[in-house]
A and B are shown apart, each in its own frame.
Chain A
Amino acid sequence: MSKVQVTTSINGEEMEFLCEPQQTLLEVLRETLSRTGTKEGCATGDCGACSVLVDDRLVCACLMLGVEAEGHEITTIEGIATDDGLHPLQQKFLEHAALQCGICTPGLIVAAKSLLEKHPDPDETTIRYWLAGNLCRCTGYDKIIRAVQDAAKELAHPA
């Protein structure tokens, strides 16, 4: 098998890796680069656990090849918090108990971050449609919606 060398940026860090042409970005992140924050639920695009940003666009890492990362900027859940602490979304997910097992949480936070960049003040319907590709089997979604709404407020008017 011939591996391909890929140069990309992950969470602002220049990175090079070797991968098989058929490996997904999700496999590369988790297995080659040990960035296991991004989760695998279905590997078929249905659950959103693997959500990442590619050049600020929300995509499923399981539906993208690792080689397609060449020259692009990837943001994963590991790139959401800053040196100053958790992102408001992460903080509000904790405060609202918007997670139980947590497998969906990284994907939801990455997806919600991209939502708030496009729609800083989303209504509930907008949130629910935007996050329709992120499945959660534990929370029943309501707490997630509240956490996102609260984070939107916090981002608009930092406490």
Chain B
Amino acid sequence: MGAFGYVAPGSLDEALTVLSEHASLGKRAQVLAGGTDLLVQMRGLDREPRTIVDIKKLAETNRVDIGAQEVFIGAAVPSAVLNENQALVDLYPGLLEAADLIGSTQIQGRATLGGNLCNASPAGDSIPAMIAAGAVCVIAGSGGTRELPVEDFVTGVGTNALGADEFLVGLKLPAPGPGTADAYLRFIPRTEMDIAVAGCGVSVTLDGSGKCTAARVGIGAVAPRALLVPAAAEALIGSTLDDAALQAAGEACSAAASPITDKRGTDVYRRKVVGVLCRRAAAIARDRARQA
């Protein structure tokens, strides 16, 4: 067993060099963003010494760029800073709502969307919302940069698609066109500070006549990883997002779920609740899209 180390690289290349050197020597390195998962784990179940690679000093990971076609959110920007960015809140009210649900004010001062995603908890609140918003991971590695849709990034409970010499630089989202809006809802037994029993993110696009022309639905906490539910989107597209369409989308979410039973809820309960959340989130997204 070695000792703990800490590095805070000042450039992307430097960060990649540290990661690939560790990988080639078979030594453990772990990326640190806000630390709100990592520090808890380091003092709990996973005490093994490692080199901690702090990505908060990189220009790329601190960027938030709002372009006409595309929006980029750096992997080191904490949730509280994102929610202070009104332009971003206006574009993705649902995603920012999800970020705002992550823990307390204190947690939001540190927690990042990238950390929520890389940590790959089945209940990570921002993951279904990112899926709904069509977010794509921008991944840097020694072989260059690659991109991967958020719904393909998490591979299982606590695991993701990153190689040992790679890290997440940020998230790229399509800029929402006219008539497009999103929403995220989760259910917890309390009003704050709890882990989702079920969560659902929905993004919809309405044409001038109020017909839904595009939709994405993501669900969380009801399967080993957050899922994109194409059948729910299909139930919405072509409709005016009336009650029948919302009902069908909710049923598609319930059908796609494969939840566990634990102290927060049984599998039957979770399956039902995720359908209800889908209906309600879709209605919120619809009402927002009418204004967008």
Q: Which of A's residues lie within 8 Å of B, judged by CB?
A: 1-2, 4, 20-22, 24, 43-46, 48, 51, 54, 57-60, 62-65, 67-68, 70, 111, 114-115, 129-134
Contacts and interface: CB of A to CB of B under 8 A. Distances in A.
A64 B103 contact: no
A41 to B, nearest CB: 12
B42 A57 contact: no
Given A57-B80, A63-B35, A64-B39, A133 B6 contact: no
Contacts of B49: 22
B105 A111 contact: yes
Contacts of A43: 43
A58 B109 contact: yes
Interface in B44-98: 44, 49, 52, 54, 56, 78, 80
A43 B39 CA distance: 9
A57 B193 contact: no
B106 A65 contact: no
6 contacts: A4-B6, A21-B52, A60-B107, A65-B35, A130-B105, A132-B105
- Chain B contact-residue range equals 20 to 34
B192 A21 contact: no
Contact of B110 (A44, A46, A63): A63
A20 B4 contact: yes
Contacts, number: 90
A58 B105 contact: yes
Contacts of B36: 45, 60, 63
Contacts of A46: 193
B18 to A, nearest CB: 14
A1 B3 contact: yes
What 4 A-B pairs come out closest when comparing CB atoms?
A133-B104, A21-B6, A132-B192, A22-B4
Contacts of A20: 4
A48 B106 contact: yes
A1 B52 CA distance: 15
A45 B80 CA distance: 16
Contacts of A63: 34-36, 39-40, 106-107, 110
A74 to B, nearest CB: 13
Interface of B: 3-6, 8, 32, 34-36, 39-40, 42-44, 49, 52, 54, 56, 78, 80, 103-107, 109-110, 191-193
Nearest to B190: A132
B287 to A, nearest CB: 22
A64 B42 CA distance: 12
Contact of A133 (B35, B44, B103): B103
Given A1-B4, A45-B104, A133-B105, 20 more contacts: A21-B5, A21-B52, A44-B40, A45-B40, A45-B107, A48-B104, A54-B109, A59-B110, A60-B107, A63-B39, A64-B35, A65-B6, A65-B32, A67-B8, A68-B56, A70-B8, A111-B105, A115-B105, A133-B103, A133-B192
Contacts of B5: 2, 21
B75 to A, nearest CB: 16
Nearest to A70: B8
A58 B39 contact: no
Nearest to B110: A59
Given A44-B44, A111-B105, A65 B52 contact: yes
A62 B42 CA distance: 12
Nearest to B47: A22
Given A21-B52, A64-B35, A111 B4 contact: no
Contacts of A24: 39, 43
A19 B104 CA distance: 27
A41 B43 CA distance: 14
Most B Cβ at <10 Å: residue of A62, A68, A131:
A68
Contacts of B110: 59-60, 63-64
Contact of A59 (B3, B109, B193): B109
A2 B3 contact: yes
B124 to A, nearest CB: 15
A115 B104 CA distance: 13
B2 to A, nearest CB: 10
